Amino acid sequence: MAVIHPVHGHGHPPPQQIDPYIKVAQLQPQMNGVNIYVIVLDAGQLRRTATGGAIQVMRVADPTGSVNMTIMNPEVADMFQAGDIVKIKNAFTNIHRGGLTLSCGRMGEFVKSGEFFMLYSEVPNLSEYNPEWAAIERARKPSPPEEGEVCLILFSSTLGTKRVMNKFSCNHYGFFC
């Protein structure tokens, strides 16, 4: 029995379509432009930040594993429920408390594409503590000042400048650190 391919210019079969969506198990720290297709396992709670923004942390999964996803866009936060199937575009990954987090900000796109009918696996949970990722996270954060060393950042609203002062210069300017 012959297989007939549709004609695609010059009599050649069409090129293989590349799946624009990656799998949860393929996520790595510091990825950008992530497109992924997941089911919401736990929608989490909407929280307000000190600056008035909204953050929602959800647990999502696909057939290869699960990960925590943070939505930092107040327009779409609190729109999802457990069982929703969501196509996400332009997300990014980062490390939080030694585990991987998928994050979507204002540049992210969401399309709810169904409910309940998606094969998924809760393991591996990429958001669980991973010593290798925790080391990456520690390396990216500035180290705290050494004991006895205190820094103060002053901001002059009239000049619009910042000045970093060590303990000596704090005392010199009449501040006690």
Average pLDDT estimate for 150-170: 44
Question: Among 59-68, 70-79, 165-174, whose mean pLDDT is lowest?
Answer: 165-174
Note the pLDDT of residue 113.
Answer: 82
Among candidate residues 94, 41, 103, the one with its CA nearest the CA of residue 72: 103
- Summarize pLDDT for 26-72 with one digit per residue, the tens: 999 999 999 999 999 999 888 888 887 788 899 999 999 999 999 88
pLDDT in tens, 87-112: 999 999 999 889 999 998 878 888 88
The predicted model scores a pTM of: 0.63
Listing DSSP states for 15-70 in one string gives: PPPPPSPBPGGG--TT--SEEEEEEEEE---EEE-TTS-EEEEEEEEETTEEEEEE
Q: What is the CATH number of domain 24-140?
A: 2.40.50.140
Give residue 93's pLDDT: 95
How confident is the model at residue 127, as a pLDDT?
81
